[in-house]
Chains A and B, each alone.
Chain A
Amino acid sequence: MAEQTLRIMGKGGKIVKLMKKLKTNPKGFLGFIILLVYVGMALFADIISTHDPNEIVPEDRLLPPSFKHFFGTDQYGRDIFSRVVHGSRISIYVGSLSSLIALVLGTTMGLLAGYYRGYIDEVISRFIDVLLAFPALLLAILIAAILGPNLFNLCVIIGVVYMPQFTRIVRASVLSLREKEFVLAARAAGDRDFTVMFSEILPNAIAPLIVQTSITFAFAILTEASLSFLGLGIPPPTPAWGSMLYDARGYIEFAPWMTIAPGMAIFLAVFGFNTFGDGLRDILDPRLKVD
């Protein structure tokens, strides 16, 4: 018991140490700031927006950026700045939920595969292989055609598509740790498999998992944008960056702000998460292998 308490406190200490280190790593810090901005945007979207994102004003269509409309208007006269700000909600939601699903599913499968090995491992590994055999987007399209494109389904789809990476990471981690002393000791002491998996093995895999989550978040945003670009994403009129890019396609020549604004939003968000992930990786283990 005492040991476990110590370990938890140790973890808390780890977090504090993490924050300190982050300040010294410029990449990670920059990424973190960008993330905070986006999360803030998502939380306070109503306050930051200058207009109602869905308000159609036919007289004001296709206006270039100005003081009234920071990023201009689209073909319905809707304010693009407000739409981009509200779009962050969708992206944060999609990013979080997808990453969470990928994390939970992937970790579970990876733990099971690595710990029990044998038949279970074979089945799970082959399943992962099959999943990886399909280009992510095509898999997403197939599933979207079956489940229908609402927000929750989209997150499930993206989560499933990016699950394999997590499985691999966790499985590799488990494989390398299962013979280590502290694991063997715990098992000898009679700890149930479940406990062993969660309290002994998993904490040591947290570092790459966190990094992968950050990367997956970025990919989730990109995938949602791609699906929306193909017309299979979030239905109108909800402002989602990918859908906005889809709408802007036909106007790229005479209303380029329609493309640039949401495109930059996606880009910066993805950039932020990738940078943050990079920084985290640098801090947690400077010699960690990429991918």
Chain B
Amino acid sequence: MDAGRKVDRRKFLIAGLSAGIVVVGAAAYFARPPEVVEKVVTVPVERVTERTVLTTVEGRPTVVTRVETVVVTPEEQPLIGGVIKVATWGAINTADPHNAPSHQDLLIALAGYDTLFRFDEEMNIVPWLAERYEVSSNGLEYTFYIRKGVYWQVIDRELTAEDVAYSLNRTQEAAIAKSYFPIWGEARAVDKYTVKVTLPKPFVPLIANLANPGSRGSMIVPRLSEDDFKKLGMTPSEFNDKGGFGTIMIGTGPFRLVDFKRGEYERFEKHKKYWGRDAKGRQLPYLDKLEFTPQPDASVRALQLRAGAVDIAPMLDAKDVPTLQVAKGIKVVGMIGTSFGHLGMNWRHPPFNDKRVRQAVAHAINRAEIVRLALSGGGEEAWSPLPSWNKYYKPFRIYEYNPKKARELLDNAGVKEIRGTLYGFNISPAPESLTVIQKQLAAVNINLEINTVDLGTYVAELKNRDPTKHTITFHIWVDKVDPWISLGVRFYPPGGSAFIEGLNPDIENTGIAEVRDKLAEETNEAEYAKAVEEFQRLWVEEVVSVPLWFRANYFGYNEKVRNFKYEPQSIQYPWEVMWKAA
């Protein structure tokens, strides 16, 4: 029999544990982390020599070709073919761009669909599927002239005005898309390449909406005829059973969706009859394939980029950026994005109906500290609900960080201490921001308990605004480019917004409602700018909604990727001109 040796068990156990603890303790003495990024990193973008822009001259829309001096770079021959892999921040929910619930759905959709117009880096409108447009003097009738020679994927026929009209009208049936096109009459195809849109009232943001990739409804889907269904090999009801546009993507864009497995990948292949050509007249896109893999964890996206598993990783965390900046073969660029964090106070929870109390809260907030701690430096302080790159942006530094002033105001209002809840959802950077805010408010004797819930519960409870539940709410919304879309829609009647103050009747007393209406109807550019400025001021100064920060978006990409361009919403990329060097 095997005898083995009996060992003093107790000694062994203790020795083993101690050894383990010592080893772990030693491992914990790592080097300091590299300096966390304190300012936003931007990289100059290669500019085009000549571009076409739609602008207004004396109030009338005109096509203008601009010639500019460029940053001289040696011309590289694009490599035709190849595949680029992208790590996205979430799994696709649907391929239907009009019904897309989430941001990443739009990112994927934009590889396969086109919009009528596009924004360039300077937020100018450039022609895309529409070559130019006209608008009647009363602002009620628009005419769009559609580009010729654009071919649909899969059904293999030319884009016509019928398709465009159908697609535009479809926005009225999709609940999410409709909120971007709330004022709408009808779109009609006048001839093969001309579409007329009639509106009941002027709607100034219409063109911006059609250019904005973030607006559901800006992407053009086909009107499937009997012939089209025959080519697809299914009846209309079969098409619907399979999920319709939700699972089957038929677009005019540079790539077509060939395969997708929810949560695993979305695979695209080049659209051989894509309408785009490069400056030398070559057929675009350059790439053969495009592959998206969802990876919700920002740090893992960064890891995958470093490991070479993906070529592009958008929406990176500021804290991962320093490591990526020093990594070989990786480039990181960034800009202030559209994610906007702010505080809303519950007017129904006394004493927040007293403006002085709200002002006190505004004075108690130290934005710099929040950006540093909660965003790891990746963001800018917000003094307006619009980001600094928006051309209508005006900072309103009315309530600067001043805890003493805050305490004074509270004393004047006769308030010694306030207790309640600080409410938000549990996705980063909300809990982090709340942690810092709680401390800052406690310094002026406003003692709030943090209550973070999952998004579903958050949205549901926002509507109830139970005074004991939500004293102050931390909210993040994603701005769009046009101020009306960013600001006005949140207060748009009759339902208003689920956002905490929008539904409060007292808010009308601040006069913000009239300004909001102007944003939708004002056709005069100068008046419009004034209205937007007034809206921002009222919001910051009278309502005393506390803008906190705009988050920076960081994009990491493999240096072999060429022609990588990015925009504040992180969803639109020039896939048709991107290529990958050997």
Residue of B nearest to A238 (CB): B450
Report if A30-B450 is in contact (Cβ < 8 Å); known contacts: A61-B373, A257-B30.
no
Which applies to chain B's interface (DSSP): helix, strand, loop or mixed?
helix
B10 and A30: CB pair below 8 A? yes
Which of A9-17, A122-130, A245-253 lies at the interface with chain B? A245-253
Q: How far is the CA of A27 from the CA of B30 in the complex (A)?
A: 33
Residue of A nearest to B317 (CB): A250
Residue of B10, B14, B36, B373 near A56 (CB, 8 A) is: B373
A65 and B457: CB pair below 8 A? no
Residue of A nearest to B298 (CB): A250
B323 at the interface (CB under 8 A from A): yes
B468 at the interface (CB under 8 A from A): no
B9 and A26: CB pair below 8 A? yes
Q: How far is the CA of A264 from the CA of B31 in the complex (A)?
A: 20
Residue of B nearest to A55 (CB): B439
- Give the Cβ gap from A90 to chain B, nearest Cβ, in Å: 15
B435 and A76: CB pair below 8 A? yes
A260 and B28: CB pair below 8 A? yes
B10 and A255: CB pair below 8 A? no
Query: 1/0 per position for B299-325, CB-CB distance to A under 8 A?
Result: 100000000000000000101100100
Residue of B13, B298, B434 near A30 (CB, 8 A) is: B13
Q: How far is the CA of A149 from the CA of B453 in the complex (A)?
A: 8
Report if A249-B299 is in contact (Cβ < 8 Å); known contacts: A30-B13, A30-B14.
yes
A64 and B32: CB pair below 8 A? yes
B563 at the interface (CB under 8 A from A): no
A231 and B373: CB pair below 8 A? no
A145 and B456: CB pair below 8 A? yes
Tell me the residues in window 51-69 of chain A with beta carbons closer than 8 Å to chain B beta carbons.
Answer: 54, 56, 58, 61-65
A254 and B9: CB pair below 8 A? no
- Give the Cβ gap from B466 to chain A, nearest Cβ, in Å: 13
Report if A237-B28 is in contact (Cβ < 8 Å); known contacts: A76-B373, A148-B453, A231-B427.
no
Q: How far is the CA of A117 from the CA of B426 in the complex (A)?
A: 46
Residues of B within 8 A of A253 (CB): 323
A236 and B450: CB pair below 8 A? yes
A72 at the interface (CB under 8 A from B): yes
Interface residues on A, range: 35 or more
B13 and A26: CB pair below 8 A? yes
A236 and B431: CB pair below 8 A? yes
A40 at the interface (CB under 8 A from B): no
Q: How far is the CA of A240 from the CA of B356 in the complex (A)?
A: 37
- Give the Cβ gap from A105 to chain B, nearest Cβ, in Å: 26
- Give the Cβ gap from A254 to chain B, nearest Cβ, in Å: 3
Residues of A within 8 A of B373 (CB): 56, 58, 61, 75-77
B1 at the interface (CB under 8 A from A): no
Q: How far is the CA of A280 from the CA of B466 in the complex (A)?
A: 50
- Give the Cβ gap from B342 to chain A, nearest Cβ, in Å: 19
Tell me the residues in window 324-375 of chain B with beta carbons closer than 8 Å to chain A beta carbons.
Answer: 369, 372-373
B52 at the interface (CB under 8 A from A): no
- Give the Cβ gap from A150 to chain B, nearest Cβ, in Å: 9
A217 at the interface (CB under 8 A from B): no
B457 and A145: CB pair below 8 A? yes
Query: 1/0 per position for A17-44, CB-CB distance to B under 8 A?
Result: 0000000001101100000000000000
Residue of A58, A62, A145, A256 near B27 (CB, 8 A) is: A256
B454 at the interface (CB under 8 A from A): yes
A260 and B457: CB pair below 8 A? no
Report if A148-B457 is in contact (Cβ < 8 Å); known contacts: A29-B10, A235-B450, A236-B450.
yes
A232 and B319: CB pair below 8 A? no
Query: 1/0 per position for B552-570, CB-CB distance to A under 8 A?
Result: 0000000000000000000
Residues of B within 8 A of A75 (CB): 319, 373, 376, 432
B454 and A231: CB pair below 8 A? yes
A64 and B28: CB pair below 8 A? yes
Report if A254-B435 is in contact (Cβ < 8 Å); known contacts: A231-B426, A235-B450.
no
Residue of B28, B319, B434, B439 near A256 (CB, 8 A) is: B28
A260 and B13: CB pair below 8 A? no
B29 and A235: CB pair below 8 A? no
A71 at the interface (CB under 8 A from B): yes
Q: How far is the CA of A54 from the CA of B376 in the complex (A)?
A: 19
B70 at the interface (CB under 8 A from A): no
Tell me the residues in window 127-169 of chain A with beta carbons closer than 8 Å to chain B beta carbons.
Answer: 145, 148-149
Residue of A nearest to B9 (CB): A26
Q: How far is the CA of A61 from the CA of B426 in the complex (A)?
A: 22
Residues of A within 8 A of B317 (CB): 250
B427 and A260: CB pair below 8 A? no
Q: How far is the CA of A255 from the CA of B24 in the complex (A)?
A: 14
B438 at the interface (CB under 8 A from A): yes
B29 and A56: CB pair below 8 A? no
Q: How far is the CA of A242 from the CA of B299 in the complex (A)?
A: 19
Q: How far is the CA of A253 from the CA of B195 in the complex (A)?
A: 56
Residue of A nearest to B34 (CB): A254
Report if A250-B299 is in contact (Cβ < 8 Å); known contacts: A58-B372, A236-B434.
yes
Residue of A nearest to B320 (CB): A250
Residue of B nearest to A260 (CB): B28
Residues of B within 8 A of A149 (CB): 452-453
- Give the Cβ gap from A142 to chain B, nearest Cβ, in Å: 12
B388 at the interface (CB under 8 A from A): no
B32 and A260: CB pair below 8 A? no
Q: How far is the CA of A122 from the CA of B348 in the complex (A)?
A: 52
Q: How far is the CA of A94 from the CA of B451 in the complex (A)?
A: 19
Residues of A within 8 A of B9 (CB): 26-27
- Give the Cβ gap from B334 to chain A, nearest Cβ, in Å: 17
B33 at the interface (CB under 8 A from A): yes
A72 and B28: CB pair below 8 A? yes
Residue of B nearest to A246 (CB): B431
A237 and B438: CB pair below 8 A? yes
Tell me the residues in window 203-262 of chain A with beta carbons closer than 8 Å to chain B beta carbons.
Answer: 231-232, 235-237, 249-257, 260-261
B30 and A256: CB pair below 8 A? yes
Residues of B within 8 A of A235 (CB): 426, 431, 450-452
Residue of A236, A254, A257 near B28 (CB, 8 A) is: A257
Q: How far is the CA of A218 from the CA of B119 in the complex (A)?
A: 57
B174 at the interface (CB under 8 A from A): no
Residue of B nearest to A231 (CB): B426
Query: Which of B317, B450, B453 is most buried by chain A, counting CB atoms within 10 A of its CB?
Result: B453
Tell me the residues in window 26-50 of chain B with beta carbons closer than 8 Å to chain A beta carbons.
Answer: 27-34, 36
- Give the Cβ gap from B172 to chain A, nearest Cβ, in Å: 34
Residues of B within 8 A of A260 (CB): 24, 27-28
Report if A58-B435 is in contact (Cβ < 8 Å); known contacts: A26-B13, A231-B454.
no
A56 and B33: CB pair below 8 A? no
Q: Known A-B contacts: A29-B10, A56-B373, A64-B32. Give 7 more (CB < 8 A).
A: A75-B319, A145-B457, A235-B452, A236-B432, A236-B435, A237-B438, A256-B30
Residue positions of B touching A, CB distance < 8 A: 9-10, 13-14, 17, 21, 24, 27-34, 36, 297-299, 317, 319-320, 323, 369, 372-373, 376, 426-427, 431-432, 434-436, 438-439, 450-454, 456-457
What are 12 A-B pairs at a CB distance below 8 A? A27-B13, A30-B10, A63-B32, A64-B31, A65-B28, A72-B28, A77-B373, A232-B426, A236-B434, A237-B435, A250-B299, A257-B28
Which are the 6 A-B pairs with shortest beta-carbon distances?
A: A254-B33, A26-B10, A231-B426, A257-B28, A26-B9, A235-B452
